[in-house]
Chains A and B, each alone.
Chain A
Amino acid sequence: DGGITQSPKYLFRKEGQNVTLSCEQNLNHDAMYWYRQDPGQGLRLIYYSQIVNDFQKGDIAEGYSVSREKKESFPLTVTSAQKNPTAFYLCASSHTGLAKNIQYFGAGTRLSVL
């Protein structure tokens, strides 16, 4: 069945370590997004990609990096430069070319610092 798969569900990062969160979709969506959720902060946009091999920074891109080598995949790397990485990370995707843009979300990855 179609959907967005995020893995792992839980992830732990040591000091100075880079970690990568996976996001895969089989919905044939062109656009993909990464959000971070902190308590009381809602959803804050980290990066988004409207097409393969292209991506743009969101509101809180510092300390994160992404790649979009395949339409189905949009991995997010949390680098050691991100000093407060503990949060719930959500990946989403949507069609392009439509005036109405419904974003569909994965189940999320909870990242904690050891």
Chain B
Amino acid sequence: DQQVKQNSPSLSVQEGRISILNCDYTNSMFDYFLWYKKYPAEGPTFLISISSIKDKNEDGRFTVFLNKSAKHLSLHIVPSQPGDSAVYFCAAKLRNSGNTPLVFGKGTRLSVIA
């Protein structure tokens, strides 16, 4: 039973346009959400996160939106650049769970076309 779902395996976007990556979750006990970016044959790198007490967090070209009632979050990248082409993983953490592992989605492959 997947608790964190990324329903789009892939996404293609023109350079300069907005990329929107979506993530849904089922467990209402998740209270912290993260996005990771992964290039082939490399480890994922942390990109941006959001706490459940917020509905938006912004860092440069990257913005994450959280809709708790819909159990949905999204990552917006604007403007998209060719170097953004990678696999993006959504991850979630249980409230007050100490250092138990993050729960990851299966990832969305973003291709930014020049």
How many residues belonging to A are interface residues under a CB distance threshold of 8 Å? Answer: 32
B104 touches A42 (CB 8 A): yes
A101 touches B99 (CB 8 A): yes
A106 an interface residue at 8 Å Cβ cutoff? yes
Q: How large is the interface on B (under 10, 10 to 19, 20 to 34, 35 or more residues)?
A: 20 to 34
Provide the residues of chain B in CB contact with A67, threshold 8 Å: none
Q: Taking A99-B32, A100-B93 as contacts, is the C-beta distance between A105 and B45 under 8 angstroms?
A: yes
A45 touches B101 (CB 8 A): yes
B105 touches A101 (CB 8 A): no
- Which of B9, B41, B96, B104 contacts A99 (CB under 8 A)? B96
Most chain B beta-carbon neighbours within 10 Å: one of A105, A106, A110: A105
B102 to chain A, nearest CB (A): 6
Q: Taking A40-B9, A42-B105 as contacts, is the C-beta distance between A96 and B99 under 8 angstroms?
A: yes
B43 an interface residue at 8 Å Cβ cutoff? yes
Provide the residues of chain A in CB contact with B101, threshold 8 Å: 33, 45, 48, 58, 103
Provide the residues of chain B in CB contact with A106, threshold 8 Å: 43
| Segment 64-114 of B: residues with Cβ below 8 Å from A | 89, 91, 93, 96-102, 104-107
**Cα-based distance from A92 to B102 in the complex (angstroms):** 11
**Cα-based distance from A31 to B99 in the complex (angstroms):** 7
- Which of B34, B41, B96 contacts A110 (CB under 8 A)? B41
Q: Mark A81-114, 1 if CB is under 8 A from B, else 0.
A: 0000000101010111101111111111010000
Can you offer 8 A-B residue contacts whose CB atoms are under 8 A? Answer: A40-B9, A42-B104, A94-B99, A95-B99, A96-B98, A101-B99, A105-B36, A107-B41
Q: List 7 extra interface pairs beyond A33-B101, A90-B43, A95-B99, CB under 8 A.
A: A40-B9, A42-B105, A48-B100, A92-B43, A102-B34, A105-B43, A105-B44
**A residues engaging B (CB < 8 A)?**
4, 6, 30-31, 33, 35, 40-43, 45, 48, 50, 58, 88, 90, 92, 94-97, 99-108, 110
**B residues engaging A (CB < 8 A)?**
9, 32, 34, 36, 41-46, 49, 51, 89, 91, 93, 96-102, 104-107
